[in-house]
């Protein structure tokens, strides 16, 4: 008995936009290579019906000062480099990062309140210490973000770094800086398809080309809202693939920040024995959050633990085989 | 395609007897159309109607039960490709594989460790669903002894062996406990079908090359009366398995293709020696369409994250998990510690609790009953107003445990602070940040 199986291939009308980070000497930058994400013509890793021209990539997060609130598991993994942003950047590159995500944490009003000058110096140090393309985050406070990210954009002129986060109440200054200095922006919205689309439209209305926008749908860690992020990303992917041009930006997710905020990863005191060995659990908490979000459409995962990064890179490689 | 709810209704008795568990025949018909119930739930349906309805009422992915009693595992009967389309109904069974070559003591210890493992999360009790016994010795007695240890511990079992004689010994040891028999293939399917029907056990089916051979086999088995099937499409890598399960789910849901409309079984440990990779691949299987996941390693450090992921993915997006209203302690607060108030939408609660915890400052978190809505939604719907907050303060033990009269409300509802002062005479109402992320600096600065 020969059984014919009905065909179930999807053909989509849209695809994810390609966005390139970094610029080499040929493009008037100083990076050793560029990193392009996006370009998928279907849902993640479905090679039987679509192409994944650019596999997702891993960014490792570093900070311009020793992070006050990082778990001992993370601090132990990185060792002394957390006191020296240049050494940290070099170490992250050595650990296999595709991108460096620099957090200008010392600019936070309560954690140093440093300004534009310090930001420029930090960005310069990191550009000199690593040849990878850069993502630069402000401290997450509108005024300070504008101050230090504009400085970062100026200092890294031509390097095609991504600066973030642009949010609905604070995006104009950052978008203008990105336009002036040839950078990209990260548009962050709170787990909502329409808000994500709206912010992409607002940013595009300022004439920043869509090829220079990444979107961050807001990450919920495993056990802390992961399912909301997972589903919003699937919905954004489907909207993009069915041709909605303003949802076609590659997605970046801040898995490290969120996973290491959870009690499961952060601490080992006062937790049930049933949670198991702390170190293994913590690294898996981050890697598993990343795995789930890769399956739902992430193009860039920002991680904190080097071991989680190597596991996630391995996962990406295995999912890309056959593509 | 299936019949519409109204078309089905016309074939039902229309007596509204309620014995199916639904108030009217029409309601039952709608559930049938949505493939959320079985036609057999209606005791009075005529044979004629049954014949007409059977084809359209059977779920696109068969519901299969493994094990008996309280701990039985039900898998399959899914109706959508994406959880946001409706929800995923039957979370995958997580089984641990043990060999029958383990010494009796070691086996007993392993079984009791797995059976005894339980952990609570968001008010739900979670644990391992069962144990797969792998007949490595090839000896019926050893296999039966191991299977007996599993069923005696009250756990559902999967019986893995090549030799039908060995399997039958296991089936006898698990008589009446509906263990999943693994597996029928192109060579042995007739014997396996006979065993599965004789012992009323669900049967796993292993295809050879491609889905065609698998579909051939399931049809032959179905014709022999082995209807409760679980399929093993032979998943040997990450990308290949994702592509295979996606095609299988689409065949079932979009094409109503019955020959492959069964739950899928997968063995992530067969793909890799690396225990972390096994756990991460199991995570992919949870997210993407696998019904029975058999792990080769049991370690709470990887099992607890998997249970959490399964809970996340199988949460019904239409009714998010709510947190019980009440006064929560974050990090051993003292009577003079800060008091914050928020709603009982689970994500709101977790965001706020997470930030308070992250601040390092112990605090009291009063969770009001907002019927599971987030702060702004609840406020707009009148479920998080001054009256409700005051009532929570007065009835949820705040006055016994908190020594001061200062309460922090979410910044999004700053407009109710005046009314709240009226409702709570003598209290100081403090307006907190709009987003949870602002809580640590708020607590450090203002408290």
Query: Computed from CA positions of residues B19, B23, B24, B30, in that sequence, does the dihedral angle turn out positive or negative?
Result: negative
Partners of residue A261 in chain B, C-beta under 8 Å: 354, 358
Q: Is the pLDDT of residue A322 over 70?
A: no
CB contact under 8 A, B284 and A291: yes
Mutate to test the interface with A, among B219, B220, B242 (most CBs of A within 10 A): B242
CA of A231: which chain B residue's CA is closest? B84
- Which of the 8 DSSP states describes residue B39? G
CA of A9: which chain B residue's CA is closest? B247
Q: Which fold is adopted by the domain B326-446?
A: Rossmann fold (3.40.50)
Q: Which residues are registered as beta bridge partners of B345?
A: B322
CA of A233: which chain B residue's CA is closest? B84
The pair of structure tokens assigned to B424 is 């709570």
Q: Is the pLDDT of residue B56 over 90?
A: no
Q: Which tens digits make up the pLDDT trace of B264-273?
A: 999 999 999 9
Q: Which tens digits make up the pLDDT trace of B89-141?
A: 999 999 999 999 999 999 999 999 999 999 988 778 999 999 999 999 999 99
CB contact under 8 A, A6 and B251: yes
Partners of residue B260 in chain A, C-beta under 8 Å: 5
Please tell me whether residue B27 adopts helix, strand or coil conformation: helix
CB contact under 8 A, B309 and A230: no
Distance from CA of A192 to the nearest CA of B (A): 13
CB contact under 8 A, B304 and A274: yes
Give the confidence band of B374 by pLDDT, cuts at 50, 70, 90. confident
pLDDT at B57: 64
pLDDT, chain B, mean: 92
Please tell me whether residue A166 adopts helix, strand or coil conformation: strand
Give the confidence band of A323 by pLDDT, cuts at 50, 70, 90. very low
- For residues A185-202, average pLDDT: 95
Distance from CA of A125 to the nearest CA of B (A): 29
ipTM of the complex: 0.97
Partners of residue A111 in chain B, C-beta under 8 Å: none
Between A262 and A156, whose confidence is greater? A156
The fraction of chain B above a pLDDT of 90, given in percent, is 73
Partners of residue B220 in chain A, C-beta under 8 Å: 1
CA gap A138, A119 in Å, rounded: 9
pLDDT at B378: 87
Q: Is the pLDDT of residue B20 over 80?
A: yes
- The dihedrals phi and psi of A250, each to the nearest 5 degrees, come to -60, 145
The fraction of chain A above a pLDDT of 70, given in percent, is 98
Q: Which tens digits make up the pLDDT trace of B297-349?
A: 999 999 999 999 999 999 998 876 788 899 999 989 999 999 999 999 887 89
CA of A294: which chain B residue's CA is closest? B284
Give the confidence band of A187 by pLDDT, cuts at 50, 70, 90. very high
CA of B287: which chain A residue's CA is closest? A292
Distance from CA of B313 to the nearest CA of A (A): 6
CB contact under 8 A, B82 and A238: yes
Mutate to test the interface with B, among A277, A288, A295 (most CBs of B within 10 A): A288
Q: Is the pLDDT of residue B3 over 80?
A: no
The pair of structure tokens assigned to B359 is 């601040």
Judged by a CB distance cut-off of 8 A, whether residue B306 touches chain A is: yes
Where are the domains positioned within chain B? 5-57, 64-313, 326-446
pLDDT at B1: 44
Q: Which tens digits make up the pLDDT trace of B381-428?
A: 889 999 999 999 999 999 999 999 999 999 989 989 999 999 999 999
CA gap A130, A133 in Å, rounded: 8
Partners of residue A274 in chain B, C-beta under 8 Å: 117-119, 300, 304
The fraction of chain B above a pLDDT of 70, given in percent, is 98
Query: Computed from CA positions of residues B270, B272, B276, B277, in that sequence, does the dihedral angle turn out positive or negative?
Result: negative
pLDDT at B188: 95
CA gap A225, A244 in Å, rounded: 26
Question: Do B264 and B230 touch, CB atoms closer than 8 A?
Answer: yes
Residue with tokens 């641990």, as numbered in its chain: B96
Q: Is the pLDDT of residue A1 over 60?
A: no
Q: Which residues contact A22 (CB under 8 A, 6 or more apart)?
A: A29, A31, A33, A34, A35, A99, A132, A133, A134, A159, A160, A161
Residue with tokens 């040839």, as numbered in its chain: A182
Q: Is the pLDDT of residue A214 over 50?
A: yes
Partners of residue B117 in chain A, C-beta under 8 Å: 274
CB contact under 8 A, B121 and A223: yes
Long-range contacts of B139-143 (CB under 8 A, 24+ apart): B139/B100, B139/B166, B140/B165, B140/B166, B140/B168, B140/B169, B141/B169, B142/B100, B142/B101, B143/B100, B143/B167, B143/B169, B143/B170, B143/B173
Partners of residue A322 in chain B, C-beta under 8 Å: 239-240, 243
CA gap B25, B10 in Å, rounded: 9
Q: Which residues contact B291 (CB under 8 A, 6 or more apart)?
A: B64, B75, B76, B90, B92, B93, B230, B263, B264, B265
CA of A284: which chain B residue's CA is closest? B302
Give the confidence band of B434 by pLDDT, cuts at 50, 70, 90. confident
Task: Say how many residues make up chain B.
Answer: 447
Q: Which tens digits make up the pLDDT trace of A22-39?
A: 999 999 999 999 999 999
Q: Is the pLDDT of residue B380 over 90?
A: no
Task: Out of A4, A227, A281, name the one closest to residue B313 (CB).
Answer: A227
Question: Model's pTM, two decimal places?
Answer: 0.87
Nearest CA to B216 out of B207, B229, B224, B225 is that of: B207
Task: Out of B239, B260, B347, name the one closest to residue A322 (CB).
Answer: B239
pLDDT at B254: 92
Q: Is the pLDDT of residue B173 over 60?
A: yes
CB contact under 8 A, B237 and A4: no
Q: Which tens digits make up the pLDDT trace of A94-153?
A: 999 999 999 999 999 989 999 999 999 999 999 999 999 999 999 999 999 999 999 999
pLDDT at B2: 61
The pair of structure tokens assigned to B345 is 């939408």
Distance from CA of A292 to the nearest CA of B (A): 7
Task: Out of B238, B306, B350, name the one closest to residue A224 (CB).
Answer: B350
Partners of residue A288 in chain B, C-beta under 8 Å: 279-280, 283, 305-306, 309
Question: B64-313: what CATH class?
Answer: alpha beta
Please tell me whether residue A242 adopts helix, strand or coil conformation: coil
CA of B437: which chain A residue's CA is closest? A140
Judged by a CB distance cut-off of 8 A, whether residue B225 touches chain A is: no
Domains annotated on chain A, with CATH:
25-34+44-320 (3.20.20.20)
The HSE-up count of residue A210 (CA atoms within 13 Å, CB side) is 16
Q: Which tens digits make up the pLDDT trace of A35-81?
A: 999 999 999 999 999 999 999 999 999 999 999 889 999 999 999 99
CATH of domain B5-57: 1.10.15.40
The pair of structure tokens assigned to B427 is 């209290």
Please tell me whether residue B139 adopts helix, strand or coil conformation: coil
- The dihedrals phi and psi of A144, each to the nearest 5 degrees, come to -70, -35
Give the confidence band of B371 by pLDDT, cuts at 50, 70, 90. confident
């Amino acid at each position: 008995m020969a059984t014919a199986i009905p065909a179930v291939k999807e053909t989509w009308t849209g695809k994810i936009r390609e966005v390139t980070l970094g610029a080499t000497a040929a493009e008037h930058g100083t990076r050793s290579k560029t990193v392009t994400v996006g370009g998928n013509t279907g849902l993640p890793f479905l090679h039987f019906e679509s192409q994944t021209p650019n596999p997702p990539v891993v960014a490792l997060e570093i900070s311009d000062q020793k992070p006050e609130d990082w778990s001992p598991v993370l601090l132990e993994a990185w060792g002394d480099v957390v006191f020296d942003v240049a050494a940290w950047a070099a170490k992250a590159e050595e650990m296999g990062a595709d991108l460096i995500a620099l957090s200008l944490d010392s600019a936070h009003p309560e954690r140093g309140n440093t300004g534009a000058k310090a930001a420029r110096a930090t960005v310069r140090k990191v550009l000199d210490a690593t040849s990878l393309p850069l993502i630069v985050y402000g401290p997450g406070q509108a005024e300070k973000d504008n101050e230090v990210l504009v400085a970062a954009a100026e200092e890294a002129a031509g390097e095609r770094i991504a600066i973030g986060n642009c949010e609905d109440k604070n995006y104009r200054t950052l978008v203008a800086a990105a336009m002036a200095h040839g950078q990209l922006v990260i548009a962050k919205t709170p787990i909502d398809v329409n808000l994500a689309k709206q912010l992409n439209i607002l940013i595009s209305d300022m004439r920043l080309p869509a090829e220079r926008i990444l979107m961050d749908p807001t990450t919920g860690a495993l056990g802390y809202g992961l399912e909301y992020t997972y589903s919003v990303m699937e919905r954004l992917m489907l909207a993009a693939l069915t041709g909605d041009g303003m949802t076609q930006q590659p997605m970046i997710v801040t898995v490290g920040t969120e996973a290491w905020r959870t009690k499961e990863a952060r601490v080992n005191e006062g937790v049930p024995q049933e949670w198991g060995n702390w170190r293994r659990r913590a690294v898996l908490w981050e890697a598993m959050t990343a795995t789930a979000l890769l399956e739902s459409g992430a193009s860039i995962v920002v991680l904190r633990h080097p071991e989680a990064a190597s596991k996630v890179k391995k996962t990406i490689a295995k999912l890309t085989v056959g593509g | 395609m299936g019949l519409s709810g109204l078309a089905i209704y016309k074939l039902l008795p229309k007596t509204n007897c309620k014995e199916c568990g639904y108030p009217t025949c029409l309601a039952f018909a709608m559930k049938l159309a949505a493939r959320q119930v079985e036609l057999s739930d209606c005791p009075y349906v005529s044979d004629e109607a049954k014949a007409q309805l059977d084809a359209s009422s059977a779920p696109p992915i068969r519901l299969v039960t493994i094990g008996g009693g309280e701990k039985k595992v039900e898998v399959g009967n899914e109706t959508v490709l994406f959880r946001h389309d409706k929800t995923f109904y039957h979370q995958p069974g997580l089984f641990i594989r043990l060999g029958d070559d383990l010494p009796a003591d070691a086996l007993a210890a392993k079984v009791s460790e797995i059976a005894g493992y339980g952990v609570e999360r968001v008010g739900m009790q979670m644990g391992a669903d069962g144990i797969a016994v792998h007949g490595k010795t090839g000896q019926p007695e050893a296999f039966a002894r191991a299977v007996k240890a599993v069923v005696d511990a009250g756990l559902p079992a999967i019986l893995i062996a090549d030799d039908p004689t060995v399997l039958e010994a296991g089936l006898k040891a698990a008589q009446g406990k509906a263990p999943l028999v693994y597996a029928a293939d192109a060579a042995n399917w007739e014997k396996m079908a006979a065993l599965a029907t004789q012992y009323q056990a669900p049967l796993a089916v292993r295809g050879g090359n491609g889905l065609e051979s698998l579909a051939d086999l399931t049809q032959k088995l179905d014709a022999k009366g082995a209807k409760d099937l679980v399929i093993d499409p032979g998943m040997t890598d990450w990308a290949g398995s994702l592509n295979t399960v996606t095609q299988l789910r689409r065949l079932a849901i979009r094409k109503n293709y019955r020959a492959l409309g069964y739950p899928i079984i997968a063995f992530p440990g067969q793909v890799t020696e690396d225990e972390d990779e096994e756990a991460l691949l199991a995570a992919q299987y949870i997210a993407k369409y696998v019904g029975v996941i058999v792990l080769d390693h049991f370690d709470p450090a990887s099992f607890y994250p998997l249970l959490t992921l399964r809970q996340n993915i199988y949460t019904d997006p239409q009714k998010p998990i709510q947190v019980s209203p009440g006064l929560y302690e974050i990090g051993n607060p003292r009577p003079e510690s800060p008091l914050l108030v928020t709603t009982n939408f689970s994500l709101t609660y977790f965001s706020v609790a997470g930030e308070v915890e992250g601040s390092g400052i112990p605090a009291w978190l009063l969770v009001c009953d907002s019927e599971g809505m987030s702060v702004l939604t609840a406020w707009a719907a009148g479920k998080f107003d001054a009256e409700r907050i005051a009532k929570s303060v007065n009835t949820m033990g705040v006055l016994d445990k908190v020594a001061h009269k200062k309460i922090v409300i979410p910044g999004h509802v700053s407009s109710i602070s005046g009314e709240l002062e009226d409702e709570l005479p003598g209290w100081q109402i403090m307006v907190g940040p709009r987003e949870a992320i602002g809580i640590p600096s708020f607590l450090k600065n203002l408290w």
